[in-house]
């Protein structure tokens, strides 16, 4: 019997931990099913629609964080170019263009193979790193979509760091 064929008895649904963390942090949430929970997180640049889904077949807790941005057909190719630049910078997770819903979405998963249970800290870091990534690149998407900037210039603009003190 290979390790992949071994079955482990899970103590609880990992989404239960998300609900526990959300309740302890006074985050409003909606449990849309046994394996899914959704919440809206207020960021500096936008409100992010975050959902966590337990994917039993992969033993993974999947996070998706989306923000609404209407992308005109004329800017789709440049947004795809921008996604390529951004995903080259992001250490964990990645951004996608989800054309069905017309949103940019950040996705990341926490592997919980072998019956591992998520901790409060893992859930908080998973969520905060997703929001941090969305916040870091939100303006680049705005520059490409609404200002007509090319992807490279938009990346340079958001990655610009000041030195010294004013």
Q: What is the mean pLDDT of the chain?
A: 87
Residues in the chain: 166
Task: For residue 51, list its beta bridge partners.
Answer: 38, 64
pLDDT tens digits, 69-90? 889 889 999 999 999 999 999 9
Pairing, β 29-33 against β 36-42:
antiparallel
Element containing residue 97 per DSSP (H, E)? strand 94-98
Contacts of 130 (CB under 8 A, 6+ apart): 48, 50, 63, 65, 93, 106, 108
Domains of the chain: 14-165 (3.30.1460.10)
Cβ atoms of 156 and 164 within 8 Å: the answer is: no
- Give the pLDDT score at 66: 92
pLDDT tens digits, 4-38? 555 556 567 888 888 887 887 777 889 988 999 99
Global confidence as pTM: 0.83
């Amino acid at each position: 019997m290979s390790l992949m064929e071994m079955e482990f008895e899970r103590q609880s649904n990992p989404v239960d931990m998300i609900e526990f963390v959300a309740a302890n942090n006074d985050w409003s949430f909606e449990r849309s099913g046994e394996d899914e929970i959704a919440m809206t997180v207020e960021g500096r640049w936008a409100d992010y629609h975050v959902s966590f889904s337990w994917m039993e077949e992969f033993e993974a807790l999947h996070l998706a964080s989306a923000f609404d941005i209407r992308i005109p057909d004329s800017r789709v190719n440049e947004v795809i170019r921008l996604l390529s630049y951004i995903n080259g910078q992001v250490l964990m997770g990645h951004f996608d263009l989800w054309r069905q819903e017309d949103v940019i979405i950040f996705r990341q998963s926490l592997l919980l193979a072998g019956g591992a249970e998520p901790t409060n800290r893992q859930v908080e870091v998973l969520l905060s790193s997703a929001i941090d990534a969305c916040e870091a690149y939100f303006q680049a998407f705005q520059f490409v979509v609404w200002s007509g900037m090319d992807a490279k210039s938009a990346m340079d603009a958001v990655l610009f760091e000041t030195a010294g003190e004013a």
